[in-house]
Structure 1
């Protein structure tokens, strides 16, 4: 599969605090860096990171929507996520539903920033989907991707994952993915070794983190060129 089936992928609104936890980033790590957030969903990360001195471009296939249509999808998917906790409570930490509901205000701030971007043409929000990105080689210091690769392994095969990672590594020096766990399981992505073999010029490292919502999503992958 070559493009993301966006109707089947949640448009999540993880906050800048979530990003800093998932990717072990501090304000100092963000300042002065060029960052790609892909897919960005309805996160306020880009807005907040720019306030901390970063240059951030957010990419999502739904960024071709007008503000009202995107706002409808943001609110719908937030409720879908809350409902999912009721259907599969064994996957989530206590308080996860309240945390999802707390995304509402940051998501409204994202929507306001998205609206400003469309009026001013600053291109902070770009409509695109992996595995094809509309950027020059090495445009970014860092690319971040949360809850797409590995999480939707039933939708995206190994070939798509290799293409997606290769594309992010083409446009960014370092790539971080969270989580490395496969779908809703606690096992790492089943083709992890094959990914490493397909990208022999790069170093793969992992780090365990505490996810505030999911019980299984506890591993972040970092990929960078070998020295």
Structure 2
């Protein structure tokens, strides 16, 4: 029997209604323990941890091999029940940021969180959606590449957008200050990444003003799931801290439509992270991946080093078959 026979459309449509049974401890605990035994320190172990955290399974290691905490250092995974069991430092103060915020993630954050190489960036046109106040696209262009950013905020004038960026960065500073175990603070009590974000925002705003004066077309006012580009306009599209980050704003249907739109305009799409800003995994991810597989979309999970939050270690790559 093939995986498509097991996971057909009817099964996917029943997924939510049968979730109480399919995600019960009686079903998941043996599965998680088996994954852990097979995985060693590889990605299957990360997936097991993802399921355990997502469905509240707190004792899944008891059925696995003894001494799971010993041995080589595992790849970074989000602290959960196993992390506490192994004595890792976990955060008691985890909260979501709330309404959608414009961020100013620097170029180096992008290359790390999307596992990008210089060849990736220079192979052809790159799309950043939603770009926010990042200097990513401007830096790609400075390296000799072609890059376009989209964001609904780009409908605003440079002066209004400057005010919005300053306001949202202040929100981020206040939010990070309440969680010092997640976001390290410097001696002055400021988040250690704050200055890097301020610098990136300054570069972005300068480039945005130039775009408006010279009509370069580098910043397009647009939003998912409808982008103003022909099919295959880009060799690479990246989308960070929008999909999966705001589940209260965007449901499964939106995520599916948004990702289909991204894969329409680019054959290589990378999404990061796969959880919201309180580190809660996207519950509908299995259904989402099934529907994308039916579309003929390949998926690949990258383990990356989280930048603004070290626990954001998962990036999803989607390519068309």
TM-score (norm 1): 0.91
Deviation per CA, 1:62-98: give whole Å up to 9, x if none.
0011111111111111111010012334443566812
Distance 1:139 1:55 in 2: 11
Residue among 200, 203, 211 paired with 1:106: 200
Asked if 1:204 is matched to 2:299, the reply is yes
TM-score (norm 2): 0.65
Q: How does 1:16-27 map to 2 (within 5 A)?
A: 16-27=107-118
Residue among 98, 122, 125 paired with 1:34: 125
| Change over 3 Å in CA distance of 1:93–1:188 after alignment to 2 | farther
**Structure 2: 5+ residue runs without aligned partners?**
1-97
- Asked whether the 8 Å contact 1:181–1:216 carries over to 2, the reply is no
What is the CA-CA distance between 1:208 and the residue it aligns to? 1.3
Aligned partner of residue 102 in structure 1, secondary structure: helix
Q: How does 1:74-223 map to 2 (within 5 A)?
A: 74-93=165-184, 97-185=191-279, 188-199=281-292, 200=294, 201-223=296-318
Distance 1:211 1:100 in 2: 16
Deviation per CA, 1:26-70: give whole Å up to 9, x if none.
223211421110000000001100112221110000001111111
Moved over 6 A (4+): none
Look at both structures and tell me which one has the larger radius of gyration over its CA atoms: 2
Corresponding pairs, count: 219
The answer to which structure has the higher strand fraction is: 1
93-102 or 24-33: bigger deviation:
93-102
- Asked whether the 8 Å contact 2:149–2:219 carries over to 1, the reply is yes
Distance 1:146 1:103 in 2: 15
Aligned partner of residue 269 in structure 2, secondary structure: strand
Match of 1:225 in 2: 320
Q: CA RMSD in A?
A: 1.7
**Structure 1: 5+ residue runs without aligned partners?**
1-6
Match of 2:43 in 1: none
What is the CA-CA distance between 1:179 and the residue it aligns to? 0.3
Aligned partner of residue 267 in structure 2, secondary structure: strand
- Asked whether the 8 Å contact 2:183–2:192 carries over to 1, the reply is no
23-32 or 128-137: bigger deviation:
23-32
